[in-house]
Chain A
Amino acid sequence: GIPLIALALTLPWILFPTPSTRWLNNRLITLQGWFINRFTQQLLLPLNLGGHKWAVLLTSLMLFLITLNMLGLLPYTFTPTTQLSLNMGLAVPLWLATVIIGMRNQPTAALGHLLPEGTPVPLIPVLIIIETISLFIRPLALGVRLTANLTAGHLLIQLIATAAFVLLPMMPTVAILTSIVLFLLTLLEIAVAMIQAYVFVLLLSLYL
């Protein structure tokens, strides 16, 4: 009776212990702290000072998505990010925030991004339309990318596992299918890289 998405969204936080008051921690906290530091450092490199305000949000977003996706790889778990609703719910507000903030602070520069430099004069109207379309398609792309990749991955695992399972009485094919499943699994642990892509694209849209 409990909606699974609620469980899947709340339980992973057990894995991240709160920052302790100690100076030297156990291995887990040390590793997590190191990882978060490195990631934030990398993330904030291209940004100016105004962009640093987004640090907390982006890092926590990254951690959230990584945890969700990695835990979804275990059997009998539910991955919330396979639902389009969640991904769009993450993508659209954040994208909209970057656009609106850009518009508010530097309207001319934000609009200026719609036109790349050095275009020949006759092409300008067409290019503006194209750039606007690309701007508006960004949240769609972000959300759908994440959804599609994860759903596809899960689906493939399920299907190939079913196939291998069904073929178990007939041996050899199973062996080959097993290896394929294993390989797919390792590839799927590049779900983490997906998160990098998500957050990084979000970052790129920060022309603050």
Chain B
Amino acid sequence: MLSRLVFLSANAVKSSGPLGAGLVQLSHLHTSPNSQAPVPALPEKGGKTRHGIIPEELFQLLYPKTGVTGPYVLGAGLLTYILSKEIYIINHETFAAACMGTVIIYGVRKFGPDVAAFADKLNEEKVQKAQEVKDLAMTSLAQAIQDEKKEQWRAEGRQMLFDAKRNNVAMLLETNHRERVHMVTNEVKKRLDYQIALQTLHRRMEQEHMVNWVEKNVVTSITPQQEKASIAKCITDLKVLAKVQQAKTAK
């Protein structure tokens, strides 16, 4: 159903609206099929028309000589001339033409903008699809660049990582080594301490044994006589000391 409207409006749109003059002119540009590139750009909007049918250029052409009303007077004059000289006779077909014209103009006025918007939308969708592809490609490529840069940075960082790890391992080894050395010294010291203690004990026991033996011998060598003599001596010494002391205290 849209088809007849499309055709109707397309017909009228072409001859009247956005692209009338431009289209006809463009169809003569590619006269030789080999000259295709670079393709000249299409005009954004079609030729300007006044009242939808008559191109604006006519008005511009006649303006210097006849002013604003020129083309209208021309049109009216032509019409009068044709009618009066009976070059164009008004007959039943005129009537049919009037009705057809009414229908066409009504159709174009009513559905024209919609159809034009539809055509523009078709083109827009095409462009948008391509644009989406392009945008997607661009974002994905930019993302890829970012990722690549990050990977490069990471690769640099890996060197540092390796160094740090190497250091760690070295430290661990060092610690281990030192622990072991420490353990070894401890063990050795323990052994040596043991030996020292053993020797000290040995010597002490010898000393004690010797002292005991000397004491025992001395005690056995003390005869009872000597014991009495020493006790008598002690008593006389004590007496002397007592006298001295009494003398001191009496002073």
A70-B93 CB under 8 A given contacts A27-B19, A28-B23: no
Q: How many residues of B contact A (CB 8 A)?
A: 41
Query: Given A17-B27, A182-B103: A27 and B18 within 8 A (CB)?
Result: yes
Q: Which of B13, B27, B95, B116 contacts A164 (CB 8 A)?
A: B95
Identify the stretch in A72-80, A91-99, A100-108, A112-120 within 8 Å (CB) of chain B at 4 or more residues.
Answer: A72-80
Among residues of A, the one whose C-beta sits closest to the C-beta of B2 is A35
Taking a contact as CB atoms under 8 Å apart, the answer to whether A31 and B11 are in contact is no
A58 at the binding interface (Cβ < 8 Å): no
Q: Does A192 contact B (CB under 8 A)?
A: yes
Residue count of chain A within 8 Å CB distance of chain B: 38
Is A21's beta carbon under 8 Å from chain B?
yes
The contact string, 1 if C-beta is below 8 Å from chain A, for chain B 100-128, is: 10110000000000011011101100110
Docked-complex contact B99 and A181, CB < 8 angstroms:
yes
Judged by DSSP, the binding face of B is: helix
Report the stretch among A46-54, A142-150, A154-162 that lies at the interface: A154-162
The answer to whether A178 and B99 touch across the interface, beta carbons within 8 angstroms, is yes
Which residues does chain B contribute within 8 Å of A189, judged by CB atoms? 4, 8, 103
Q: Are B119 and A31 in contact (CB under 8 A)?
A: yes
Task: Among B3, B92, B127, point to the contact of A24 (Cβ < 8 A).
Answer: B127
- State A23–B18 Cα separation when bound (angstroms): 19
**Known contacts A26-B42, A189-B8, then 10 further A-B pairs from the complex at CB < 8 Å, ordered by chain A residue:** A26-B18, A27-B119, A28-B19, A30-B123, A70-B11, A162-B91, A181-B96, A182-B103, A190-B4, A192-B7
